[in-house]
Amino acid sequence: MYINGNWATAADTEFEIFNPATGAVIQSLPDGGAEAARAAIDAAASAFKTWRATTPYQRAEFLMRAHALMLERQEELAKVMTAEQGKPLRAAMTEVKYASDFLQWFAEEGKRVYGEIIPSARADQRFYVLHQPVGVVAAITPWNYPISMITRKLGPALAAGCTVVLKPAEATPLTAVETFKIFEDAGFPPGVVNLVTGADPKPIGEEFTTNPKVAKLTFTGSTAVGKMLAGKAAANMKRVSCELGGHAPFIVLKDADPVHAAKGLQLVKFLNTGQACISPNRIFVHREVLESFLETFADRVGGMKAGNGMEQGVTIGPLVNEAAVAKVENQVKDAVAKGAEVLCGGQRLIEGDLGQGHFFAPTVLNNVTPDMLIYREETFGPVAAVVPFDDDDDVLAMANDTHYGLAAYVYSQNLTQAMRLFEGLEFGIIGINDINPASAAAPFGGQKDSGLGREGSREGLQEYLETKVGGFSI
C-alpha cells in the first residue's frame, strides 16, 4: 500500500494474487481494511490543503511526468497486467498507451477550467462563477481494465486539484502498485495519491462511503455493487459517479456491408475475452444479410487462438476466475437447450496447459431468442449471441429492451437510418460503423442502470469540481 508518500510492504495479513491462465500465485500484498483506508483518507485530506492551492500549470507538470514514465515503462506494465489479468500482451500494451492518454489529456484540460461573469438585473451587482476542486476523492477500479480505469479517474481528479485514495480490484492490484510507483517517481507530494489494497472490499467501501472527509466516490464495476455504494454515499451527501454494467446491442441493418460488420464485431466482441462493459451482447442481424455475415464471423472467431497472454500468437486469454467460466457455460447450455445453434466453440477449453486456467472457447450462437438467459443477462465472456430479425423498424425497440444503457453499435450505409438509430437508442455511447467510440477527449458513461456521470472529456473533469457563485455589490 502507498499512504502519505510511504510504501507499506508488510501487514498482519496478506492476500495472494493469481495468474488466471495458469492458476499460479504471482505475489502476496498487504490486506488492508478500514483502518488503512482511514489513514489514507486522513493523508489525502491533509494534502488537499496545499494541493488545491497549486496552479493548473503546476499540476499539469506532475501529470505530464507521469505520462512520460508510463510510456517509458509500457512493456513492463503490460507484462504485469497480462500476468494478473490474462489479456494478451499486445492488448495490454495498447491499454497502457490508452491509460497514458488520460494523464496527458487532463494535464492540458485542467488549464481550461474557466469561470464566468453573469450579468445582473441590478446595476450595482456582478455575479462571478468559480469552479474549485471537490476535495478528497475515493476511487474504486475494476479488474478488467486495471490501468486505464485508474488514470481515467485519477487524471481528471488530480488535474482539478483533488487528492485521491484508490482501492484497486482485489484480483488485479499489482498493476495499480506499478502505476503508483510512477506517481511516486513523478514527484507527486505525499498524500496527494494514496493506494489501499485488500482482499475484502467491504470494509474499505464502507469507510469510503461514510468517512466525512471523503467528498466524492467514483466507482467502476457491477451494477449491483454500484447501486449499493451510491446509496450509502448519497446518505452521507457525497458526490458519486459510477460506470456500471452493460448489455450492448450490435445492429446490422439490411443495407450494411455484412463482411465489414462481421470483421468489426469479431474485434470488439472478443476484446479482453469479452470481459468489457461495452462488449456487444445481443447481435441483431437482418435476415437478408445473415448468411454472409455468419460465414465471415464464424470463420474469424473459429480461427482465434486461446492461451496464456504471454505466448506469441495468442489472441484471446482466460476469463478472470472459475465463477466467470461457470456463468458463460450456463448461458450457452441454456441457449442450446432452447434452440440456439452453435456455429463454433461452445465449451470449456481444458486441453493441455489450458486446463490449469479459466478458458472458454470463442463461441458463436445463432438463432438466439428473448427467452434465453444470454438475451437478458450480461455475459462478460467470449460468446456472441446472434439474433436474426426481419424488420429494420422493429430493431430499435428490441435493442432498447434492457435496463442497461451503456454502449450500442450500428452498422448501416444509410445516413438516415444511422441517424434514426443514433438518436433513438437509449445508450450513452454509440458506435456508427465504429467499434471504438472511446477516447480521453470523449465522454464515457451510460444511461439507466449503466451508471451516473461521465468519465473522459471536459465532462469528466467537471465531475471533480464544485461550482461557486459570488454576488458582488459595487
Do 263 and 367 reside in the same domain of the chain?
yes
Closest to 20 in 3D by CA, of 319, 382, 355, 347: 319
Domain assignment present for 443: no
Is 437 a domain residue? no
Collapsing DSSP to helix, strand or coil, 49 comes out as helix
User: Between the CA atoms of 256, 259, 265 and 271, what dihedral angle is there, to the nearest 10 degrees?
Assistant: -150
Q: How far apart are CA 87 and CA 24, in angstroms?
A: 16
For the chain, what is the domain count? 2
How far apart CA 107 and CA 230 sit, in angstroms, is 28
Domain membership of residue 442 (yes or no) is no
Q: How far apart are CA 353 and CA 23, in angstroms?
A: 10
Instruction: Compute CA distances 335 → 234, 358, 383, whole Å.
Output: 39, 21, 11
User: Is residue 293, in this structure, part of any structural domain at all?
Assistant: yes
Query: Is 439 within the bounds of a domain?
Result: no
Same domain, 22 and 137: yes
Is residue 185 in some structural domain?
yes
Which domain covers residue 273, as residue numbers? 248-432
Per-residue model confidence (pLDDT) at position 393: 85
Amino acid at 200: D
Q: Is 341 helix (H, G, I), strand (E, B) or coil?
A: strand
Residue 214 and residue 289 share a domain: no
In a shared domain, residues 73 and 211: yes
Statement to judge: residues 199 and 323 lie in one domain: no
Rounded distance between C-alpha atoms, residue 21 and residue 309, angstroms: 8
Residue 197 sits in the same domain as residue 282: no
Cell of 220: 467502476
Residues 38 and 184 reside in one and the same domain? yes
- Is 201 in the same domain as 296? no
Whether residue 242 lies in the annotated active site: no
- Asked if the structure places residue 438 within a domain, the reply is no
Identify whether residues 43 and 124 lie together within a single domain. Answer: yes
The pLDDT of residue 10 is 66
Q: Which residues contact 32 (CB under 8 A, 6 or more apart)?
A: 1, 8, 11, 196, 197, 198, 204
- Cβ atoms < 10 Å from Cβ of 70: 25
Distance in angstroms (rounded) separating the CA atoms of residues 238 and 217: 7
Q: Are 125 and 16 in a shared domain? A: yes
| Marked catalytic residue, from 162, 242, 277, 344 | 277
95 is catalytic: no
The mean pLDDT values, 10 residues at a time, for the chain of 474 residues are 90 91 96 96 98 98 98 98 98 98 98 96 97 98 98 98 98 98 98 97 97 98 96 96 97 97 97 96 98 97 97 96 97 98 97 96 98 95 97 93 97 96 98 96 97 97 98 96
Catalytic residue among 95, 243, 378, 463: 243
Domain of 50, CATH number, reads 3.40.605.10
- The CA-to-CA distance between both ends of the chain, in Å, stands at 52
Q: Cell 438463432 appears where? A: 367
Query: CB within 8 A of 436, min separation 6: which ones?
Result: 268
In a domain, 189, yes or no: yes
SS (H, E, C) 70-106: HHHCHHHHHHHHHHHHCCCHHHHHHHHHHHHHHHHHH
CA–CA gap between residue 277 and residue 256 (Å, rounded): 25
Instruction: Tell whether 17 and 93 lie within a shared domain.
Output: yes
Dihedral of alpha carbons 167, 173, 175, 177, sign? positive
Q: Which amino acid is at 12?
A: D
Beta strands in 221-279, from DSSP E residues, in sequence order: 239-243, 248-252
Where is 188: in which H helix or E strand? none
236 and 253 belong to one structural domain: no
CATH number for 375: 3.40.309.10
CA dihedral defined by 301, 307, 309, 312, rounded to 10 degrees?
A: -80
